[in-house]
Structure 1
Amino acid sequence: MTRSEGTTLIALLTIIAIAIAGLVAAVSLGARDDAGAVVAAETAVVAPTPEPAQEPLEQVTMNSINGTEVPAASDTWGGFEHIRSWEGELTVWQDSPAQLILGPGGNWFPAGQPGCGDGAHLITFTAAEGELLTAQLADALGTPVRTGSHATGWMLADDCHLPYVQLADEAGSAQVSYTVHEYQPAGR
């Protein structure tokens, strides 16, 4: 081997050694960052922030009345997409007939009409002073198909059923606030 070939070989080996050292350093520093991230992720898994259990809307029985915590009203769920929401208040009295929860702008609730069955409504209700309410889902003829008693609750109904509330066996009256989220099949 000539002197020039030896120098070239030493230079080449030096460059390779420096590249390997740089690669080892980069991997080593990167591993420390990844290890820190892994430890943080493990800590988050070991000590999660407690959140109330909520059933996703996909798992709730259609045409049900519930007194549990209201599931989040999402933009889409189970093949449905949110199209509009509204809220309102009404007063119910002792021994009076059940009051229909109103539709948007105080108009008729958009359900129970011919051709219904595609849409859904998530309806929440609350009595202002915690009075016990009787909530009902009724068919288009006004015949109750589901009933539940709650001071605060929610209903998941298809668009063939109408939501009603009334005061349950208490004297006086109650102010009831409600929110309705309307859903239609996605892509319509």
Structure 2
Amino acid sequence: MQLSATELGKEYGLSGEEMNRVLVKLGYLMGEPGDYDVTIKGRPYAVTKNFHRGTGGYGYYNRYWNTRTFDDSIKDVLEVTKELVSEVRAEIEEGKLLRAAVRKAAREKANAEFLAKEAAKQAEKLKVEKELAEALTKKENWKTVGKVGLVASGILLTGYGVYKVTPYLKQWREKSKKVKEKETVETE
């Protein structure tokens, strides 16, 4: 009867991951988790079947995978000791801790990069807002200067107009006086 690594591991109180690691240690498999291959020593006991999900438009429809089973007779040659099991469990735990540390470091790096980008965006936003506020202040200042200039030029133009018109007004007033005096003299 053919057994998977998980089923074979149950015979020894191990998980599938632990049993695969034991088989690596004993020389029946080689490689890393998720990418094991049978060694020459393991070929008489292992059967590998390749599967393909078929054709399709997406990568997950075209998935390839392998299943590996071991003959019952492998139990006769396996030497699974308590020391080997504890060593394998320690390696697996160490690998999990290492992967967790790598994930944590990657997450912290990504968070730091994200926060740096957000800080740069915020700084740019504040810079733009400051420039806009300065531009609006300048615009208001120019409006004020324009209004003051308009009022000042109005006053100057009015003063100039009065200056130019005053002699004519004096002449007109004198003419008007003379005409009135003449009329009053004639009516008398």
The verdict on a shared fold, with TM-score over 0.5 as the criterion, is: no
Task: Judging by fraction of residues, say which structure has more helix.
Answer: 2
TM-score, normalization by structure 2: 0.26
TM (norm. structure 1) is 0.26
Give the structure, 1 or 2, with the largest relative contact order (CA under 8 Å, sep 6 or more). 1
